[in-house]
Structures are given as C-alpha cells and as structure tokens.
Amino acid sequence: MRSTDHGERLPRWSGDLYLEFHRGVQTSHGSIKRWNRKLEIMMTQIELAATLASLREKGTYKYPKEQIDQLWENIMLCQVSRSARACC
C-alpha cells in the first residue's frame, strides 16, 4: 500500500487490453469449438455403451473407468490449454 499511496497511484490502462503472453482459454475458431463438441458427444456415447455393456455382461466386462477418465482429462486439457490450439 505504501508504494501506491494507499491506492492513489495505481496504473491506468486505456485502449484495448492485449495480453502478450496469455490470450485466455477461449477460442474464436469455430472449427476448434466444433471438434471439442464432437469429442464431448463421442465421449458421452462411449460412456453409455460401456455402462450398458457392464450391465449386460456383468461377469465378463469391466467398465473401463481409468481409460475413460484419461480420455476426458486429455479432452478437457486441450480445451483450456493454449486457447485450445494444437495442444493435443
């Protein structure tokens, strides 16, 4: 607080806010958003199929939780990492 005179000497910014090293986690690229959504839909279908298989084939099929969790983590990482551009 001393270096800013109790908030009286704070930096002011005018004009567009352009962050040189970090441009956020959202993307304006429609194709990336479209593929992210397609992957989310496919993962939901995979989860449903795996759930149905585990219910139908109780003794012979084990729900692949670790693999599905890893796929979700990779997808989510790509959506927030580096503006979702070429990170996978």
Domain chopping of the chain, boundaries: 29-88
**3-class state of residue 28 by DSSP:** coil
How many other β-carbons are positioned within 10 Å of the β-carbon of residue 76? 13
**75: exposed, middle or buried (C-beta count within 10 Å: 0-12, 13-18, 19+)?**
middle
* Residue 18, pLDDT score: 59
pTM exceeds 0.75: no
Cβ atoms of 85 and 27 within 8 Å: the answer is yes
Q: What is the pLDDT of residues 21-47, one digit of tens each?
A: 555 555 567 787 888 889 999 999 999
Look up residue 65 and give its two tokens: 């939780």
